[in-house]
Every structure is written in C-alpha cells, then in structure tokens.
Chains A and B, each alone.
Chain A
Amino acid sequence: MMVLAGRARILGDDINTDYLISSSRKKESLDPQVLRHYLLEDLDPAFAGSVMDGDILVAGRNFGCGSAMEVAVTVVLGAGIRAVVAKSFSRTYWRNAVNNGLLAIVADTSGIEEGQRLEVHLAGSRPELRVMTEPARTVPCEPLPPFMLALREAGGLVPYLRRHRTLA
C-alpha cells in the first residue's frame, strides 16, 4: 500500500500540453529541473513558483490534450508533483504518465477545492482518493488494467524495459 499526500492544486478542463510546458521552452532544455520554472506559465505565470513538493494536480476533463510531448509529464514530476487526478485524460498524456511513473488517476474531481488536503491510497489496481479537509470524504477512482499495474509497479516503462528488455 502506497499513500501520497498533498495539497490540491485546482486546474480546469482541457489543460493542454502546451500550457503545461510551452514548445518554445522545450527547445532550450529537456531538464525537468530547468523546465519546472515554466510549468503552466502561459496559463498563470505565478503557478510554478507556488508549487510545493507533493502537491497534487486536480483537473477537469481531457487533461493533457494536444501535443504528445513527454516533457509535459516530466516537468510535472520535476516540480515535485507525483499524482494528477482528473475527470479524464487525453490518451497521449495518460500513456506518457504511465510510462514515467506519474500517477494519472481518473475520478470525479467536482467539489475539490484549491489547497484541500488530499491522500491517494494505492492498493493493487484500485486507487482511492481521500479528501482529508473537513468534511472528509472518499472519492471513487477508476481501476487500472493489469498491464498498466505491472508498468506502474516497475516504476514506468524505462525500468520495466531495463529489466525485461522486451514488452512480451
């Protein structure tokens, strides 16, 4: 059982990868520790500076739409964010997240407010999202398919392929 705890950072629907990190920043560096300073800058230039280690991104629908660029995942991890909870993800963002060990959790995020204390409990394929700020509640999350679970347990595609060399 793994538990991630952090503050909710509320974002809206259709947060695209260009907002997470602009393509014009990516041409300067691929280092997440450099890029983290530009996280979501086109949406809110003050956001990157306000992120604290362990923060959890809480978004609406279609998180990570647009470009398939993977820096949009590594920049989030680089900022110290280890989980994103959204009503839905774009498929490219979701697979990049799985491959990099960023927890991408599908749940109804309605009603979660900025700064609330959250905990993500991971046991097997069934994650659970707990809102710890009173009134405390538990939000059901979509389960994870077995192969995704194997990738996640390995820590992502890189450690998985480092160990197994092939996918099948």
Chain B
Amino acid sequence: MRRPGKTIAEKLLSRSAGADLRAGDLAICAPHVAMGTDGSIPMALDYLQRMQPEGAVLPPPAHADRVVFALDHYGPGSGERSLALQERARRYGRAHGVRVFEAGEGIGHQLMMERGLVLPGQLAVGADSHAVAYGALNAFGTGIGSSDFAGILQCGQLWLKVPATLRIVLAGRLAPHVSAKDVALALARRIGADGASYLALEFAGPGLAALDMDDRMVLANMSVEMGAKAGLFPFDECAAAYLLGRAAGAGEPTAADPDAGYAGAVELDLASVIPQVALPHRVDQVVDLAAAPATRVDMVYLGTCTGGRTKDFREALEVLREGGGVAPGVRLVVTPASGMVRDELAAAGLLAEFEALGAEIQPPGCGACCGTCGSIPAAGTNVVSTANRNFKGRMGNREAQIFLASPRACAASAVRGRLAEPGALP
C-alpha cells in the first residue's frame, strides 16, 4: 500500500536531511543558510569555543558562505557592553568571510528576504525566533538557539524533529482598513499562544491569491506567536515576482502532496476579519478593536520584522493624513525594517512626511521592539505597536503597557490619542 503524501514541512526537511522523513522523525539537517544576530552570535561564539579541544583557537565556520550575520539588535545608544558583544560578532564574521550586515542596515529577517538570501525549498534557520518569516518564500524558516548556531558553525548541521502540520485554509479577501496583521492577531486569538506548539503552519486556500508578499511575511512571522515551528506558504507567481531581481536563482519550490496528512485544519474567511488588538501582556489576548477598553495612547511604534515594511508605513501614513496628524502628547516612532525600506520611504517623500508630523525616525533595525535600543517607552505609558510581542517589559520598561495592532490601527490611535479603529476616521 502506498504511504500517504507529504506536507511542505515533511518534504523540505526530508530534502535537507537527505532522507525520507515524516512528522515525528528526527532529522539531522544541513541548513542552506543560517542567520545570526548580535543578540545571539556572541553566545554562539562562546559555545563554539567550548566545542573545541582545550587551548584550541576559535575555528572558522564550516561553511562561511552559508552563514549570515546581521547586527540588528544593538545600536549606538545600547551601551558599551552591548557594543562590545556586537563587536565580537563583527570581528569573527569579518575575519572569516561571513556576510555581515552592519548595525543600521536593518533587521536580519528582512535583509534575508529582500536581498534574496533565502530561496524557495530551502531550510533557512535563524538564531532568532522570527526566522519563521522565511516561510513566506516557501522556505522552512525556523528559530534556533545560540548553541544550535554554534553547532552549524562547527559542522554545518542541525537536529530538528519533523513537525506535524496544521493547515490554515484561507478564503475571500480582506475588507478595507483590514491588514494581514489583523489576520495574524485573529489567528492567535482563535488558536492561542501554544495552539500550534511543535507544529508547522501551512497556509492554503483560495484566499492566498489576495495576499501579497508583505501580507504573507506578516503571517509567517507571527506564526511563532502561536508556538509554530514554521509558517509555510506555497510558491506561486506572487513569490516568483518578489524574488525576481533579488535572488540569483529560483530555488526548488515545493508543494504539499494532495493526499498529505495533517494534524488539523483551521478555516478562515479573510472577508470576515475586522480590526483586532492584542491587549497587554499576551499576544493571544486579542479583542475586536471596536470593543477594546477606552485607552489613552502615549506612544505609537511603527516598525519591527512584523510591521516595518514600506507597505506598513504607507498604510499608516494614509490614515495619519486623513486624520490630520498626530494628537498632541503622542510620541510617534518610525523604525524602518531595513535601509532599503527607508530609502523607498525617502524616495517617495514619505519619510519627510513622517518627519513633518513630528515622528522620531530611528535607524533601521530591531529598534525598541525588545528594549535593546531605540526609543524605550516611559513608565506608566501605553504603547500601540505594529510589533509581534507585548509581554510585560518587552520594550525595556515593565511599567509600560503594550498593545499590538495593524499599522492603520496604530496610526488611527496616534490621530485620536487613544485606541481607535482606522475605519472610523476622521
């Protein structure tokens, strides 16, 4: 009897391990590419040293061409200790011919995708949990730790358990004023912060056709907030168009078999999604924005690997324009996800427009998302953010309350000075 077909996750990990693997199997894989950050590389170098015999020097990476360093977590204002950690990563990378993205060039995940460093069909890991974003490009993107990253530097290998897959079947198209971020929050609300634990998400259904690459990156990126190991999209013309001019090749796009076995399915009509907000301090504590408690807003944060792309800023700016600008007393922070995003905004005059609205423009990078640099919120303040996490203390101050919403909802809240729905303006 023929065995049932395979999911995208089973196919990608089988390919990387060179073995016929199914959910539950252990895979010893050779990742095509591994990205580390200044938040994870210094510790990886400590581990790598400890993997060597006594007295041995730090070895070069097993495959320098399969490793990327992105110095994205720390900036000039992060303090001398973090800059010393960053310098260790930079020195090792440069000494061994690793591609190093400098501080200020952008967030590693964004750079991996926009520079064509992740291709369809690959196993592309990151020593940072939001590496799941690469699933938007039909790659098995997943987060690993520093010891795993050290193992990859040492021998080019990584152990992974092949996950079962939860299918997310999308239909319809988004209503006006609704964003992919609302879909991600609606999914977190529905399945919970551990609803996809140990599972891969596989996005499918006719609704995919109405989601552009920016939307897919948001959904893949946020899949880890439901505990997922990966958030995988099929390859289609939309992904092909994105890669054109960015990547050297088209990779090896991979589709699920029609008779693949799934752990379950969640169906969602995109047209039914309305603006959502995650309340402090949980990503899955989500309510309809219209039903959110009346909340004064002190700081609006636009940025991160979830909500810091050009489309996000365009959408926010449209709402800010319509609403007549930022309410008095509201701090608006703009942190582009990459230099390319910042240049696009500048070329279109949008950066100047943000400046004219009094926004603080931060250098591209992780910014204040996890409180490592950038504009840290003050005690007692309420922040509405396009980011992915709202844990207590996440932005560097445990006395701040963080709400997560779409770029449009963040902008509407900036206009009103309180949590507000984008459709309800002016």
Residues of A within 8 A of B (CB): 14, 16, 18-19, 22-24, 26-30, 41-43, 61-62, 65-71, 73, 88, 90-92, 95-96, 99-100, 145, 147, 151, 156-158, 161-162, 165-168
Within the complex, the shortest CB–CB distance from A147 to chain B, in Å, comes to: 5
| A23–B194 CB distance below 8 A | no
Q: B47-55, B100-108, B250-258, B291-299: which lies at the A interface?
A: B47-55
CB closest residue in chain B, given A19: B391
Tell yes or no: B304 within 8 A of A by CB.
no
CB-CB < 8 A to A27: which residues of B?
73-74, 78-79, 81-82, 85, 372
**B135 → A minimal CB distance (Å):** 15
Inter-subunit contact A18/B389 (CB<8 Å)? yes
A-chain residues with CB within 8 Å of residue B78 when the two chains form the complex: 27
Q: Judging by beta carbons under 8 Å apart, are B46 and A161 in contact?
A: no
Q: Which residue among A66, A91, A96, A147 has the maximum number of chain B CB atoms within 10 Å of its CB?
A: A91
B residues contacting A by CB (< 8 A) are 26, 28, 39-40, 42-43, 46-47, 50-53, 73-74, 78-79, 81-82, 85, 127-129, 143-148, 150-151, 154-155, 157-159, 161, 193-194, 197-198, 227, 229, 282, 370-372, 389, 391-394, 396, 398
Q: Is A68 a contact of B370 with CB atoms below 8 Å?
A: no
The answer to whether B154 touches A161 (Cβ under 8 A) is yes
Contact of A157 with B392 at beta-carbon distance under 8 Å, contacts A14-B194, A162-B52 already known: no
B152 to A: closest C-beta gap in Å: 10
Evaluate whether A30 and B42 lie within 8 angstroms (CB atoms) in the complex, with A18-B389, A66-B391, A100-B147 already known: yes
Do A99 and B154 touch across chains, with their CB atoms under 8 A apart?
A: no
Interface CB pairs A-B, < 8 A, 19: A14-B282, A18-B370, A18-B394, A19-B392, A23-B39, A23-B370, A27-B78, A27-B372, A62-B197, A65-B194, A66-B389, A68-B145, A95-B144, A99-B148, A147-B26, A161-B154, A165-B154, A166-B157, A167-B151
B371 adjacent to A22 (CB under 8 Å): yes
Verify B143–A92 contact, CB threshold 8 A: yes
Decide if A156 touches B157 in the complex (CB within 8 Å).
no
Task: Name the residue in B42, B129, B145, B148 with the highest tally of chain A Cβ atoms < 10 Å from its Cβ.
Answer: B145
Which residues of A sit under 8 angstroms from B46, Cβ to Cβ?
A: 30
Known: A27-B85, A88-B194, A91-B227. 4 other contacts (CB 8 A): A19-B392, A61-B194, A145-B26, A167-B151
Known interface pairs A24-B371, A90-B227; A96-B147 also in contact (CB < 8 Å): yes
Would you call A95 and B51 a contact (CB within 8 A)?
Answer: no
Query: For the complex, what is the distance from the CA of A91 to the CA of B372, rounded to whole Å?
Result: 24
Given A18-B370, A167-B157, A42 and B26 touching (CB < 8 A)? Answer: no
Chain B interface, DSSP helix/strand/loop, else mixed: loop
Closest to B196 in A: A91
**Contact indicator A26/B39 (Cβ below 8 Å):** yes
Given contacts A27-B85, A29-B81, contact A68 B129 (CB under 8 A): yes
Chain A residues with CB under 8 A of B128: 67-68
Q: Which residues of B contact A147 (CB under 8 A)?
A: 26, 159
A19, A27, A95, A167 — most chain B CB neighbours (10 Å): A27
Complex CA–CA separation, A41 to B159 (angstroms) = 32
B148/A95 in contact, CB under 8 A: yes
The closest CB in chain A to the CB of B147 belongs to A99
Q: Does the CB pair B198–A158 fall under 8 Å? A: no
Chain B residues positioned under 8 Å from A157 (CB to CB)? 47, 147-148, 150-151
Closest Cβ of chain B: how far from A48's Cβ, in Å? 14
In the complex, A73 Cα to B43 Cα: how many Å? 12
B151: A residues at CB distance < 8 A: 157, 161, 167
Contacts of A88 in B (CB 8 A): 194, 197
- Residues from chain A with a CB closer than 8 A to the CB of B371 are 22-24
List chain B residues, Cβ under 8 A from A71: 43
* Closest residue of B by beta carbon distance from A163: B51
Taken together as a complex, chains A and B put the C-alpha atoms of A99 and B51 apart, in Å, by: 12
- Which one of B39, B81, B158, B229 contacts A69 once the chains associate, using CB atoms below 8 Å? B39
Residues of A within 8 A of B127 (CB): 68
Nearest A-chain residue to B370, judged by Cβ: A23
Complex alpha-carbon distance, A30 and B44, angstroms: 11
